[in-house]
């Protein structure tokens, strides 16, 4: 079976730490390779096992753990900073940028799933009928 890599990123708004998440997954006996990082975990394993690990990780914080596929295996010497002689990890800047947005996205997902925020839908975008436009003109341009 082909192996895949996956990044689990902990949102800055979450109370979780990479260590706590790692321990939770190990205690639940997930059959994937794990590596703790500063932003969360890097996982490697078969697709089914990865999906199971992701579900178990979300048991801890459904709106605080995000994931995306990763190309290289954890600790791969081809892109490891130790063997490259420094410089940021490939994809670091992108991850760093997205990390800032995760608390907002998590909060929005929570509201969506709890059915809150529907009242904030706002005015629907559409072509304004001529009558309404005339009315706006009359109000704005005395």
Partner 1 sequence: MERFGHTPLSLGREIGERVRDPGLDNPPLNLTEEDLVRGLRYVSIEAPSGVRGRMGVLGPLVDQAEAAVVVRNTAYAFGCSGCFRAGLQVLYLLRRKGIPILEVEYPSTREEARGMVRRIAEFLGGLKG
Tell me the window of 8-16, 34-42, 65-73, 129-137 that interacts with partner 1 (CB under 8 A). Answer: 65-73
Long-range contacts of residues 12-18, Cβ cutoff 8 Å, at least 24 apart: 12/99, 12/100, 12/102, 12/103, 13/64, 13/102, 13/103, 13/106, 13/107, 14/61, 14/63, 14/64, 14/65, 14/106, 15/61, 15/64, 16/60, 16/61, 16/64, 16/65
Residues linked to residue 34 through DSSP beta bridges, in sequence order: 43
Q: Can you tell me which of 23, 28, 93, 134 binds partner 1, judged by CB under 8 A? A: 93
Q: Based on CB atoms, which residue is closest to partner 1, 6 or 30?
A: 6
Q: Is 70 in the site for partner 1 (CB under 8 A)?
A: yes
Binding of partner 1 by 76 (CB under 8 A): yes
Q: Does 120 bind partner 1 (CB under 8 A)?
A: yes
Q: Which residues bind partner 1 (CB under 8 A)?
A: 2-5, 7, 67-73, 76, 78-79, 84, 90, 93-94, 97-98, 101, 104-105, 107-109, 111-112, 117, 120-122
């Amino acid at each position: 079976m082909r192996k895949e890599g996956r990044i689990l990123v902990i949102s800055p708004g979450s109370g979780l730490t990479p260590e706590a998440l790692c321990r939770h997954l190990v205690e639940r006996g997930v059959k994937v390779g794990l590596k703790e990082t500063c932003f969360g975990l890097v996982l490697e394993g078969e697709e089914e096992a990865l999906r199971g690990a992701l579900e178990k990780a979300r048991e801890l914080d459904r709106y605080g753990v995000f994931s995306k596929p990763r190309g290289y295996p954890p600790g791969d010497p081809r892109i490891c900073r130790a063997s490259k002689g420094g410089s940021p990890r490939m994809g670091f800047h992108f991850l760093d940028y997205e990390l800032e947005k995760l608390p907002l996205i998590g909060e929005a997902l929570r509201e969506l799933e709890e059915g809150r925020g529907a009242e904030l839908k706002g005015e629907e975008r559409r072509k304004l009928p001529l009558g309404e436009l005339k009315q706006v003109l009359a109000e704005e341009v005395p």
